[in-house]
Every structure is written in structure tokens, then in C-alpha cells.
Amino acid sequence: MKNTGILIISLLMLCFSCKEDKKEVVQVAEQPQTPNIVFIMSDDHAYQAISAYGYGLNNTPNIDRIAKEGAIFNRGFVNNSICAPSRAAMLTGKHSFVNGKVDNLHPFNWDQDNFAKTLQKNGYETALIGKIHLDGLPQGFDYSNVLPGQGQYYSPDFIENGVKKTYPGYVTHVTTDIALDWLNNKRDKEKPFLLMYHQKAPHRTWMPEEKYLTLMDSVTFDPPANFFDDYEGRPAAADQEMSIYKDMDLVYDLKMLDKAGDIKTKYREMFQRKYDRMTDAQKVAWDAYYDPIIADFKSKNLEGKDLAVWKYNRYMHDYLRTIQSVDDGVGQVLDYLKENGLEENTIVVYTSDQGFYLGEHGWFDKRFMYEESFRTPILMKYPKEIKPGTVVDGLVQNIDFAPTFLDYAGAEIDESIQGESMRKLVKGEASEWRDALYYTFYEYPAEHKVKRHYGVRTDKFKLIHFYYDIDKWELYDLEKDPTEMHNVYDNPEYASVKADMHIQLEKMRTKYGDSDQMNKKNLDLFLDAKNIKH
């Protein structure tokens, strides 16, 4: 009996233990799983050139998948429409005059906090692959393999964890291959991960890969309605060097590198060096396509508007072709996530470091606060929270990425971060959201000659102040004049709007800590760095 009693007690204890173990297992299974993050950024990718936005210029089925399976943002903007400052704002969640990266010239302080560092501290495995355009060894990443500076399209150099090496091939594919290799072979698969997968394309000089050289050859693009803008009432817009007709280099930008050397341009030798990076096989394919175009161009002696429209079409063809390769890479990464059971628990964002002009106002490039460069594409999917086909119309900005990712990760969002988490906004649960955006641009005097300016945008209006060697104000009614052709700053009918927008502007400057004194400080640093007397 004594042994029987001990046996019964032992069995009861074992059952109790099993129940407790089972209870423990259930509790662990119910814990929310920390999401992975894949943050895809291209360079100078205009929202007009993503088919999900409906402009009909090209077809980007893989990028569109993110919108179909998640959300598309119709009003995503940047804080400063130039490469490095935009990326610094994205990393830190702070405006340029706070994080210190106000232009492409100033160094970026990697010692300051960024969202990748915070994710690392919260158990994430982190990687930065592709273009970042911020000098110095990236901080916050367990693995980095980045392009030095702007990078090259063919036979690109990369810096892997501080060590420089050259990869054969085409930069878009190389970047994708490195990203997939990290996902598959290099990361700690027991940890949630952050992958920042950043493409060089479609940045100037828009060099397509061989297989897309003839893509859309049969398409003739009609220039935008304001392609021959006369800039009436907008002196800052008139005084720039972004004109497709006047400033786009026939060789550097449009590939008219004739063997005879008859086409002599300012940047011919710079493009020659890019061409020389190709292998013999790549040059054969390149020459087979471009040589007949060069011969045809030389025979026509185009001038005036005919030349402008010809240049526009050459630009559009090459620009859109580089995007097709980017779209291919997005598809490969999305497929990897799906095939490896990661799709459901991974946030995927596609964006660009800013927008780009595709002939609007007769321009290429970016920099201005006008919509085409101020606005940037943003598409986002996360099956656990974001419903397929979601459309977001709130005013969002690139300073919002950092707090958004930290919010999803359950990490603390430091008070110094100036952006706002988009998590509730994209779910349709944000009871309040910002009603205005603040913008700054500092890089003048410099390439493209875009004047220094700052401004504020609301749902309906935009106020811009151009300063330094000019003192001009511009006001736009975005509902009546979405292409920003009519500056109504001095129109008495908009007197009350102007007064309200000035109040809004000062609110924004106070909120974010900007001022005329800050502008002067940054200007002095810039001029000193360029050895310009002032």
C-alpha cells in the first residue's frame, strides 16, 4: 500500500507537470512574433514611373504587388529632395538641419542614433546592401555591402564590411544577388531581421542592362503639357540648369558616344570611363544598339523643339529601362520571402530617396519643392496588419520611416525623433494626423543651380521661400493648379490664404527647430567647404 500510494502521488505530480508544460507551450505560441523588415529604396524613382500610380508610362508588376497585397501612399514626400540628405533623414527620423546632413557635401555623423541601431539593441539581425551615399563605415548593421558614392552601373565596386571589391555584372542584379545571399546564407535565422536593400537605379546616367536595351523601342513618349514652360512669375524656376533641352548632356546622359569623336560635350570623358567598365561582350551588345541611333542622330542635325523632344524620348527610354531591372529584383526578393515562409511576418516597403522630373517644366533631376521631386513613391505590405488594396491619403514624409519601423518592432521611439509612426494611419486607426509638411533645400551654389529654399505644404496649398542671392516667395493653389504653373503669392484673392500659410510656416519652423540663423550657419559651412568667399 505504501508503494502504491507513492506511485499514485508520483503519477499525479507527473500529470500536473505535464499540464504546466503544456500551459507553458501554449503561452509561448501566443506571444506576438516580432516582424521582419525589408526596406527597399531606389534612387530618383519618380512615382510617375510606377504603374500602380496609374500614369501609364511603364509596367512595374513586382513593385505593384506590394500595393495590391498591402497599401499605396498617394501623398508621400521627402524633407530635402537630394540623395544623401534624404537618406540621412530616413535613417534618423530627423530633418536635415537636426541630423547635420544638409547637402551632399557635408559629412554624415554615423555616431548619432539611427533606427537600425535601435533595432539591433532589440535583438534584430541587420543588413545594409546597395546604395546609401553616406561616407564612412555604416553603423547599426551586422553586415554592410554598399556602393561607394553614387556607384557604377557596370562592374560596380562595393565595400563589404569596410573592404572594397569589384563585382562583375550589372549593378542592379549584383545588389539583388548580395541581398538574397544574405537572406539565405549569412543572417542568423533565429533572429528577426532588418534588410535595407537599396538600388542605385534609376539614378543618372540611366545605363540599361543588355537585355532591356530595346525595351519600349516602339513607344514614342509625348512630353508633359508644361514641357515648354516659360516660368512666368517664377524667377527661381527660370534660373536653373535642369533643362532637358539645354542641360542634358548628349554623351553623358544620352549615350551619343560616337567612335569618330565628333560629338564633343562637357561630360564626354566621364561617360567614356563608365563605358570602359563594360566587358567586351557587354560593349558589343551596347554598340549594336546605340551605334545606329548615334548615326541617325548625326544625320538629322536636329534643332530647337525637335531636338528637345528627341532628347526627352531618349531620356525616357533609358530611364524606364533601368527601372525594369529594379522591378525584376523586387520580384526576386518577394518570391524568396514567399517560398521560405517569411511573407506573412515580414513588412516590405518600397520607396525612393525622392521623386524625379520626367519632363515636367522641361526638366530632369530633382531638388525643387515642386511636387514631382518633393513627392516620392511609398508602397507597403504587412499581411498581419495591412489589408490588401489599402489607399493612404495622409501627408507622410521620409522622417516617418524610422518611428514606423520601431513601432512595429515594439522598440522605444526616442523623443528626439521628429517623424511619426505610420502604423495606425495605414490601418485606418489614426484619429489625428499632421496637416502640413516642412521642406528644406540647401545645396546652392552647386550643380543644377537650384536656389536655396524652404517651405510648407498643406492639403491644398504650398508656400515656398527662395533665399540667399534671391528673395522670392511662391504660393500655389494645389487643387486648382496641380502642376504649379501659377504663382499666386501677390494675387489679392489669396491674401488670407497667404497670411494663413505664413503662420503655418512659422509653426513648422518652430516645431522642428529651424530658423534663419540655422540657414546662415549651414550656408557658411557649405561655402567654406567649397572655398567660396562670402
pLDDT over 70 at 12, yes or no = no
Q: For cell 572655398, what's the residue?
A: 531
Mind listing the pLDDT tens digit for each residue in 425-439?
A: 999 999 999 999 999
Mean pLDDT for the chain?
94
Average pLDDT over residues 338-352: 98
Between CA 405 and CA 66 the distance in angstroms is: 17
pLDDT over 80 at 7, yes or no = no
Between CA 191 and CA 126 the distance in angstroms is: 10
| pLDDT category of residue 68 using cuts at 50, 70 and 90 | very high
pLDDT over 50 at 462, yes or no = yes
Question: What domains does the chain contain, in order, with CATH numbers?
Answer: 36-207+316-430 (3.40.720.10), 231-313 (no CATH), 447-529 (3.30.1120.10)
Q: Which three cell numbers stand for residue 442?
A: 540647401
pLDDT over 70 at 2, yes or no = no
Residue 219: the pLDDT is: 98
Radius of gyration from C-alpha coordinates of the chain: 26
Average pLDDT over residues 24-38: 66
Between CA 94 and CA 86 the distance in angstroms is: 10
Cis peptide before 224 (omega within 30 of 0): no
The answer to whether the beta carbons of residues 337 and 343 sit under 8 Å apart is yes
The answer to whether the beta carbons of residues 137 and 110 sit under 8 Å apart is yes
Q: Which helix (H) or strand (E) holds 378?
A: strand 378-381
Residue 241: the pLDDT is: 98
Residue 31: the pLDDT is: 55
Mind listing the pLDDT tens digit for each residue in 158-197?
A: 999 999 999 999 999 999 999 999 999 999 999 999 999 9
pLDDT over 70 at 18, yes or no = no
Q: For cell 530618383, what's the residue?
A: 44
CA distances 291 to 266, 294, 301, 322, 526, Å, are 20, 5, 16, 19, 42
Residue 525: the pLDDT is: 86
The answer to whether the beta carbons of residues 100 and 106 sit under 8 Å apart is yes
Q: Which three cell numbers stand for residue 181?
A: 545571399
Among 21-30, 211-220, 317-326, whose mean pLDDT is lowest?
21-30
Average pLDDT over residues 275-301: 98
Between CA 22 and CA 16 the distance in angstroms is: 10
Residue 87: the pLDDT is: 98
Between CA 532 and CA 529 the distance in angstroms is: 8
Q: Which helix (H) or strand (E) holds 522?
A: helix 516-529
| pLDDT category of residue 135 using cuts at 50, 70 and 90 | very high
Among 44-53, 252-261, 362-371, 516-525, whose mean pLDDT is lowest?
516-525
| pLDDT category of residue 337 using cuts at 50, 70 and 90 | very high
Residue 26: the pLDDT is: 39
Judged on CB neighbours under 10 Å (0-12, 13-18, 19+), 7 is exposed
Mind listing the pLDDT tens digit for each residue in 240-249?
A: 999 999 999 9
Query: What 3 state SS string does 83-149 have?
Result: HHHHHHHHHHCCCHHHHCCCCCCCCCCCCCCCHHHHHHHCCCEEEEEECCCCCCCCCCCCEEEECCC
Q: Which three cell numbers stand for residue 291?
A: 551605334
